[in-house]
Amino acid sequence: MSLLNLPQEILVLIISKLQASGDYNTLLKLCQTSKTVCALVQPKIFRQYPRWGYIDDRYWLPVFEHRIGSLICFIRTVIERPGLGACVRSLTVEAFNQRSYLPQDWEKKLLKDLFEMFARAANQLPASWKQQYLTAPDEVHSNSLLMLLITLTPKLETLRLKITEEGLEGLEGLEPLWERDSQSVRSHGYLANLKELDIECDEMLHKSMRGLFHLMHLPNLNELTLYDADEDGPGCPPLELLLPKSLSITTLKLVGVKFHQTTLRQMVHACRSLKVFCYYSAWETEDASHPKKSDLVSILKPHQNSLQQIDADLDAVRPRDFSEYGSFTAFTSLTHLGLAQTGLKDAADLPGSLEHLRLVVCAQPVYEFLTSLISKRKIGQLALKSLKLYQNGDIHPREGSWILGIKPFPELWETEEGRVEMMKACRRLDDLIETADFSVEIFSCSAWKMYLVMQEKLRTGSRYREFRKEYEYVRV
């Protein structure tokens, strides 16, 4: 049966399935079958740049050969066909200025008509933009084209910027987009539909990062993710000027960052209603100005009725911080919580709404805490569905303790008595898990992993009597 004989709804389903699987080669071939099919396929292909596809069943990779060459070809297409530019919802732009990223025959491809086309499109930009960004052909790089690209994608919803130490000058130049009227009210000429902004900051070394302040105020921006941001970097935006409840951001993710406690507090308070908060510190320091565990609840307090997910790891920035988080019981909407074990001492500090708990950097026995969780769940004081425990490595000093309350794994494995002790501890924990009304997963714990392997082998049967005797404490 011909494709054209299929109902359009069926064609749309087929195309959507191919897009979801990352099979862009097939989509491109479909474009060549007929104008009708091409009109249905092209909006799917141009929905995101660069296109991403599977290299196997586990990984996605961007489908483009040369970063800058691909970007320019993409811009040329949306200039020629503005309707395709309106289909773009996601963009990823990298700040690669080195000419080594250009194809070897690039000079031959930079034809005069291509630059005339770019010039005609750039004539729609404000005068200050044209003066700054219309450069000679040999100076073209991804940074110079960012603002032009933004004007060509009016319905853009997701923007990811990867910034090197050379900066992303296009970000700095975005400031003229937000002009103020006679009453100093900010207007948004572009990116008005942007919902998600993801920036790899390279420690905010470049002055262009100061333009982030304006992007944070976009009217529909719901999610902001910053990687490697450093408040002390020369390009850090004036975050101290943020006003309470001035941002529409509902998801704030700060990964590998170096922020002072007062700055983090100001950023959080500037959001009107946070639903997701993730904070992962970057480095070890004893600087008292950096946030510690006991600061977290007070920082997030303005959003205690709206927050649904909290993930925070402050141990990297303050490894000898033995303070406690405090109580999360006032966070009535919280369903997902991820924290370091050392700061959470009592299950009574958890809200009844909590469904998923993840404890990282676990270096203390978990029996009492797990028993308390099981009890609260059985009497209806906790809605817990899953618990994930991440062991803080296997090798510790002799005086250290870990989630099983026994010696480090390498020491135990050296003797038969040690292996029996290890299996007894695992059996005790396993018996406790059996009574839980929620799932329990343990990661990065060699003793527990070995216990599960032995349990599986005993279940399937072993021909060696010595094997069965040594692991008699493994429950089948």
Give the residue extent of every domain in the chain.
1-45, 328-476
pLDDT (average), residues 155-172: 68
pLDDT at 43: 84
The stretch 355-379 carries a mean pLDDT of 92
Over residues 226-237, mean pLDDT: 82
The pLDDT score that the predictor gives to residue 175 is 52
Whole-angstrom distance, CA of residue 198 vs CA of residue 192? 16
How deeply is 396 buried, as exposed, middle or buried, from its count of CB atoms within 10 A (0-12, 13-18, 19+)? middle
Q: Determine how many CB atoms are found less than 10 A away from the CB of residue 60.
A: 11
What is the model's pLDDT at position 93?
80
311: tokens are 């993930």
Query: Does residue 265 register a pLDDT over 90?
Result: yes
pLDDT (tens digit, 9 = 90+) per residue, 456-469? 877 776 544 444 44
Q: Is residue 333 pLDDT above 50, yes or no?
A: yes
Say which residue the tokens 């990282």 belong to. Answer: 360
How confident is residue 188, by pLDDT bands cut at 50, 70 and 90? low
| Predicted pLDDT at 99 | 44
Cα distance between residue 311 and residue 185, in whole Å: 35
Q: Which two tokens stand for residue 275?
A: 């639903």
Q: Within 10 Å of residue 137's Cβ, how many Cβ atoms?
A: 13
Q: What integer pLDDT is reported at residue 385 of this predicted model?
A: 97
Which pTM does this prediction carry? 0.81
Q: What is the DSSP letter of 396?
A: -
Cross-strand pairs, 50: none
Count of other CB atoms within 10 angstroms of residue 58:
6
Confidence of residue 208 (pLDDT cuts 50, 70, 90): low
Which phi-psi region, left, alpha or beta, contains residue 262 (left: φ > 0; alpha: ψ -120 to 50)?
alpha
A 10 A CB-CB count for 44 gives 19
> Does 98 have pLDDT greater than 80?
no
pLDDT of residue 152: 84
Average pLDDT over residues 133-148: 51
Considering only residues 414 and 390, tell me which one the structure prediction assigns the higher pLDDT: 390
Question: Would you call 473 helix, strand, or coil by DSSP?
Answer: coil
- Residue 169 CA to residue 154 CA, distance in Å, equals 21
Burial 347-357 (b: 16+ CB within 10 A, else e): beebbeebebb
pLDDT at 393: 60
pLDDT, mean of residues 116-128: 66
Out of 32-46, 102-116, 251-265, least confident range: 102-116
Q: Contact at 8 Å (CB) between 222 and 251?
A: yes
Beta strands 386-391 and 356-362, pairing class: parallel
Q: Is the peptide bond before 319 cis (omega within 30 degrees of 0)?
A: no
Proportion of the chain above pLDDT 90, given as a percent:
28
Looking at residue 306, what is its pLDDT?
A: 97
- The mean pLDDT value of the chain amounts to 76
Q: What is the reported pLDDT for 77?
A: 85
Mean pLDDT across the stretch 399-420? 70
Closest CA relative to residue 71, chosen from 139, 150, 14, 149: 149
Rounded Cα distance between 338 and 311, Å, is 4
Mean pLDDT over residues 186-210, rounded? 74
Checking if the pLDDT of 236 tops 90, the result is: no
Cα–Cα distance, 49 to 44 (Å, whole number): 11
pLDDT at 444 over 70: yes
200 or 159, higher pLDDT: 159
> Where does the pLDDT of residue 378 fall: very low under 50, low under 70, confident under 90, or very high at 90 and above?
very high
pLDDT at res. 135:
46
Among the listed ranges 89-103, 254-268, 436-450, which one has the minimum average pLDDT value?
Answer: 89-103
| Range 305-330 average pLDDT | 82
- Better-scored residue on pLDDT, 393 or 350: 350
Whether residue 294 has pLDDT greater than 60: yes
Please tell me which residue, 473 or 428, carries the higher pLDDT value. 428
Residue 225: pLDDT over 60: yes
Q: Which residue has the higher pLDDT, 250 or 130?
A: 250
Sheet holding 356-362, edge to edge: 48-49, 90-94, 158-162, 196-200, 223-227, 251-257, 276-281, 309-313, 336-340, 356-362, 386-391, 439-443
- Looking up tokens 């996605």 gives 60
When pLDDT is cut at 50, 70 and 90, the band that residue 252 belongs to is very high
**Lowest-confidence segment of 271-275, 369-373, 400-404 by average pLDDT:** 400-404
Residue 329 has pLDDT above 80, yes or no: yes
**Cβ atoms of residues 314 and 279 within 8 Å:** yes
- The one-letter code for the residue type at 246 is S
Residue 361: pLDDT band (50, 70, 90) is: confident
Q: What is the mean pLDDT of residues 259-269?
A: 92
